[in-house]
Structure 1
Amino acid sequence: MTDVDRVQGTITRLDAHFNGLGGGALVDVATDYLTRLQHALDHCTYGERVERALTRAVADVAACAGWSAHDCGDYARAAQLRNQALQAALLARDPIAVTRAWSDLAAQAEHAGRPAEAARINRAALSERHVRAQPLIASLLHARLADCLAQTGDPKGMGRQLAAAEGTYDRADIVGAASWLAFLTPAELSGLAALAHQSAGLYARAEEQAARTLDLLDVRFARNRAYYTVLLAELQLAQGDLDRAAATVADVQVAGVASSRIAARIERVTAAAHAPEGHRDDAR
C-alpha cells in the first residue's frame, strides 16, 4: 500500500499538469505511466486489497491519458484509453471510477455529434445511488447534461440542469476532493454554463458567462484559461463583433500550454476575424 500511495501522488501530479499544461505536454507521459502500472498488475505479487487499489489507479491514469489524447485531437486514441478506464474501474469494483469513466465516454459521444447518446449516459450516471452522496460529481454530470440538452433543442431542460448543477455544487465539500475534480470550481461551472448557452445559440448570455469564468479562474489553470479565452473570442465572432474577437484571441496566453485543439481554434478565430470584408458573413 505504500507503493499505491506513491502511485496516487503521481496521479495527483498528472491531473494538476493537465490543468496547467494541456494534453500535448502530458499524453505520452501518462500513457507510459499507464503501461508501467499495467506491467505491475501483470508481474507483481500482491493481495486483493492492493490489486483493487492498483486497478483503480489504472482507471485514473487511463482517464487522464484519455483527456490528454482528446486535447491533442487524437480522438481514436482517447476512445481506446477511455474504454480502458471503464474496464479497469469495473474490475476495481469502484463505483466512483465507473461513474467518471461513463462521464468521459458521454463527453466523447457529445464531441462526436451524438448529444442524445451523451444525455442518456449522463442521466444513467446521475441515477446511480452512490452519486447522491457525491455532490461534486453530480454537479459535473448535471452541467454536462445541460449542454447535451441544449444541443438536442431542449433549452428548458438545459436551464433545469444548470440550476441543479449550481444547487448541488453548493452542497459539495471541496476539501479533500479527488485530484481529477480539482478543475471543478465556480469558474468552471460558469464556463460549462457558457458552453451550454453557446450550444443553445444564446451567444450574448454565453459571452457573459465566459467573461465571468475568466474573472474567477485560478492562475494554476493555465490550460483552461486559454480554452475559455478562445471560447470568449468565438462567442464574440458568432455575434459579428470581429474587432473584439480579434483582440480577445490575440490576448490568449498560450505560453507553456500544449493543446492542439486550442491551437486549431485560435487559428480559426484569427482567420475569421481578419477575413476580408466580402467574406465576413461566411466567417461568422
Structure 2
Amino acid sequence: MPASFWEHEPVRLALAGRHLGRAIRAYRNHPYQGRSPLPQSVVAAWLGITQAQLSRVENGPPIVHLDRLIHWARLLRIPSSHLWFTLPGQLSAMPTAIEGSDHDSAETLETAGAAHPPVPADAATSASERGGGTTDRRQFHALAALAGIAATGFHDLLSAPAEAPRSVGMEQVRYAGSLVEQLRQADAVAGADQLYDIAVRVHSRLSSWATKATYSREAGEALQIALADLAIATAWLAIDSENRPMARPYLNEAITRARIADDPRLEVLAFAQLALLVRDDHPAESLHSAQAALRASAGWGTPRLATLVHLRTAHAFAALRDVSGFSRAMTKARREFERGTSEDDMPFLHFVTAQEVQGIEGLSYLAMGRAERAADAFRATTESTPPALRRNRIYYTVQLADAQCRLGDVNEAARTAMAVLPDLSQVSSGRVWRDLTRLRSSLTKTRQPTATSREFIDAYDQAVSR
C-alpha cells in the first residue's frame, strides 16, 4: 500500500492501540479499497482462517501471540514503523517512485498490487516441482498449442525471474491481457495440465510489475483488470488440472481486484468460478457464491452471462438435493440462453453453448441420483459439441460412461470410456483423468466383470503407464 494508506486515522489509531484485529477491520474498510469494503471472507482467506474467526479477531481482545502477529503483519505488508513489535528479517519497503519518473503522470504500482493476496507457497516454483521437473516440456507443448505466441514476446513473461520493467505502458498491459483469452482458447482444445504452470508464471511476472514498476493512472486501472482476469483463468486451470487448493487464493484476488477497478463483470465471473470450485465439498457455499454473482450482475448482465450464473445456481441446488430449486434455476438458464448472444458478451463466455447447458443439466441429474436422465443429457451433449471445445466433449463423454455404469450397463460404460482414451494423448485434463480413475474403480468392483470392462481396464492401465 502507499505510505498514506497507513496514516488513515482508523488504521493509525488501531495500530497505535496495538490491536491488530481492529487494524484489519480498518484495512478492509479503508476508502482506498473502492466502493465496497473488502469482505471478511476474502481477507480471512488471505490470513488462512475462517470468516467467523476473523470476526472474533476484529471484535475481540487484542492478539498477543507474537508468531501470529508477525505472520499477519507480513501478509498485509504493514510497515515496520507502524508496529509495536520487530519483524525478523524486516521487510524492505517498496520504492515510492522510480528515479527519473514523473510524479504527476505516474504513480507506483504498489497501488495496483494492493489486491494481490499471499499464495500459500511460491506458486511458480511449486508448480514446477509438482511437474517433477517437466516444466520445460509442458511449456513446449503449451506454446505449440498457443500458435504464434512465442514469436510475439510471450516467452518474455515466462523467462526466469528478472527485474521488473521501470515503467509499464498501456501497450504492455493490453498485450498481457490478450494472453488470457489465448490461454482460454488453448485450454478448450488441449486441456489445463499443459497450461497451468504457464499461467502461474505469467501471473507471478505481472504481479511483480504491479509492485515494482510505475504506470499512468490509465495503465494502472487496465493492469488491475488484466490481473483479475488472469487470476480467474489461472483458478480455472487449477481446477481442471486437479490443483484445486490453489484456485481459491486466485479467485479471492480476482474479486478484490475487480472491486478496486470497479469492474463488476470480472467480479461476477469470479463468484461464478467460486461456485464451481466449492460445489462438491461445500454446496451451500456454492449456492451463496452463485447468488452473489446474480446480485452483482442484476440490471446489466448479458443473456449469456445470466445463463452461466443460473447454471451454477442450478448445479448447486442439485448438489443440495433441492429438486424444485434446481428446476427453477434451469428454467431461468434456458430462458436466458434462448435470448441469444450480445455484442457485450465477454470472450470468456464462448463456452456457454447449448451443449454446455445440456451438460450441466446432466451433471445436476447425476448429483441428484437420476442417472437415466443424466445419460440422456450427456448423450445429447457429446453428439453435438463443436471441435473447438474438444476438452468439454471428452469430459462429458466420461460423465456419460459414469451414468451408464450407475445404470448397471457395464459393457456400454466400458465402450464409451474406451472411445476417449486415444484423445487423451492430445488433451491433458487432471479432472478427466480423476473421473476415469473412478470409473475404472467402479468397473473393477462389479460382481461379474465382462470381457469389455476388462478390455477397458487394461487399456486404461496402459495409457496411465505411458
* Structures share fold, TM-score greater than 0.5: yes
Report the more deviating stretch, 125-134 or 67-76.
Answer: 125-134
> Which of these residues, 318, 329, 346, is aligned with residue 178 of structure 1?
346
Deviation digits for residues 134-168 of structure 1 (CA, Å, limit 9, x no counterpart): 22111111111111111222112211111110111
> Which of these residues, 180, 189, 195, is aligned with residue 26 of structure 1?
195
Report the more deviating stretch, 24-33 or 87-96.
Answer: 87-96
Between the two proteins, the alignment pairs up a number of residues equal to 280
Matched residues in 2 for 1:210 and 1:182: separation? 19
Q: Is the 8 A contact 1:106 1:122 kept in 2?
A: yes
* Counterpart for residue 237 of structure 2: 68
Deviation digits for residues 167-194 of structure 1 (CA, Å, limit 9, x no counterpart): 1112242556322212111111111111
- The letter for the 1-side match of 2:288 is R
* Counterpart for residue 262 of structure 2: 93
Helix, strand or coil at the partner of 1:24: coil
Helix, strand or coil at the partner of 2:321: coil
* Counterpart for residue 83 of structure 1: 252
Q: Is the 8 A contact 2:188 2:389 kept in 1?
A: yes
Report the more deviating stretch, 235-244 or 74-83.
Answer: 74-83
- The letter for the 2-side match of 1:255 is S
Q: Determine which structure has more spread, i.e. the larger CA radius of gyration.
A: 2
* Counterpart for residue 464 of structure 2: none
Report the more deviating stretch, 250-259 or 123-132.
Answer: 123-132
Q: Is the 8 A contact 1:150 1:196 kept in 2?
A: yes
Matched residues in 2 for 1:212 and 1:222: separation? 15
Change (3 A) 1:4 1:226: same
* Counterpart for residue 53 of structure 1: 222
Change (3 A) 1:164 1:263: same
The percent identity for this pair of structures is: 28
Correspondences of 1:146-225 after superposition (within 5 Å) = 146-173=314-341, 177-225=345-393
Matched residues in 2 for 1:167 and 1:276: separation? 41
Helix, strand or coil at the partner of 1:254: helix
Report the more deviating stretch, 50-59 or 122-131.
Answer: 122-131
Matched residues in 2 for 1:191 and 1:240: separation? 21
Change (3 A) 1:148 1:261: same
Q: TM-score, length-normalised on structure 2?
A: 0.57
Matched residues in 2 for 1:8 and 1:199: separation? 36
Q: Is the 8 A contact 1:243 1:273 kept in 2?
A: no
Q: Does 2:385 match 1:254?
A: no
* Counterpart for residue 141 of structure 1: 309
Q: Does 2:285 match 1:117?
A: yes
Runs (4 or more) in structure 1 with deviation over 4 Å come to 129-132
* Counterpart for residue 231 of structure 1: 399
Give the superposition deviation at 1:279.
Answer: 8.1
Q: Does 2:426 match 1:265?
A: no
Q: Is the 8 A contact 1:102 1:122 kept in 2?
A: yes
Matched residues in 2 for 1:11 and 1:57: separation? 8
Report the more deviating stretch, 48-57 or 236-245.
Answer: 48-57
- The letter for the 1-side match of 2:293 is A
Matched residues in 1 for 2:316 and 2:194: separation? 29
Q: TM-score, length-normalised on structure 1?
A: 0.92
Matched residues in 2 for 1:276 and 1:119: separation? 35
Give the superposition deviation at 1:130.
Answer: 4.3
Q: Is the 8 A contact 2:231 2:251 kept in 1?
A: yes
Q: Is the 8 A contact 1:162 1:193 kept in 2?
A: yes
Change (3 A) 1:256 1:15: same
Q: Is the 8 A contact 1:15 1:179 kept in 2?
A: no
Helix, strand or coil at the partner of 1:127: helix
Give the superposition deviation at 1:278.
Answer: 5.5
Give the superposition deviation at 1:23.
Answer: 1.4
Matched residues in 1 for 2:257 and 2:396: separation? 32
* Unaligned runs of at least 5 residues, structure 2: 1-169, 451-466
Change (3 A) 1:215 1:149: same
Change (3 A) 1:154 1:132: farther
Higher-RCO chain (CA-CA 8 Å, sequence separation at least 6): 1
Matched residues in 1 for 2:441 and 2:325: separation? 35
Matched residues in 2 for 1:120 and 1:129: separation? 14
Structure number having the greater helix percentage: 1
Give the superposition deviation at 1:274.
Answer: 4.5
Matched residues in 2 for 1:243 and 1:68: separation? 33
Correspondences of 1:31-50 after superposition (within 5 Å) = 31-50=200-219
* Unaligned runs of at least 5 residues, structure 1: none
- The letter for the 2-side match of 1:46 is Y
Q: Is the 8 A contact 1:194 1:209 kept in 2?
A: yes
Change (3 A) 1:109 1:275: closer
